[in-house]
Amino acid sequence: MDRSQNIAQARFAIEGIIFRYAEALDGGDLETLAELFAAGAIKPAVGEPVQGAQAVLDLYARIVKFYDADENPVPYQRRQCTPRTRHVTTNLIFEFDNAVAQAGVRSTFTVYQNLGGRNEIIAGGRYVDQFQRTIAGWHLAERQILIDSPGDLSRHLDA
């Protein structure tokens, strides 16, 4: 397979990981989100960097605010509550090494939150990601979250 085919396949796999992160967080499924970091680390916008699935799950369960269907704040329970957010990830820029075994990916995100009948943009920023390919496929090695346009995050994060 030539390099351009490898890049096309890699982009497809990496996009799936990036979009799965947002879907898992918005859907109140931190276990799925955390598994994306089984062999990786995250440098969150708030809090200290952590590595591995359990540490990521613990971090998100501690700093993200979750709500039940009636919008009451509740402790995290898988798929029983959500942060009432929608993370929209766009403008993906890929940079692959020559062997197409590592990639740097930069993207932008916008976070909407729907509470109290109001759907508001609460943050905008960037993800700076490092991906690696192993025999098992592509995985997220590191994600840095940079919030460039903070809004009212008081109902989303405990910082």
Q: pLDDT tens, 55-81?
A: 999 999 999 999 999 999 999 999 999
pLDDT of residue 75: 97
What is the sign, positive or negative, of the torsion defined by CA atoms of 19, 20, 23, 25?
negative
42: buried, middle or exposed (CB in 10 Å: 19+, 13-18, 0-12)? buried
> What is the percent of the chain with per-residue pLDDT over 70, rounded to a whole number?
99
Q: What Cα–Cα distance (Å) separates residue 69 from each residue in 28, 66, 114, 117?
A: 12, 10, 12, 13
pLDDT, the chain, mean: 96
Pick the CATH number of 3-150 from 1.20.58.1000, 2.30.30.30, 3.10.450.50, 3.90.1640.10: 3.10.450.50
Average pLDDT value for residue range 31-55: 94
Q: What is the pLDDT of residues 113-135, one digit of tens each?
A: 999 999 999 999 999 999 999 99
Domain residue spans of the chain: 3-150
pLDDT tier at 24 (50, 70, 90 boundaries)?
A: very high
Decide: pTM greater than 0.75.
Answer: yes
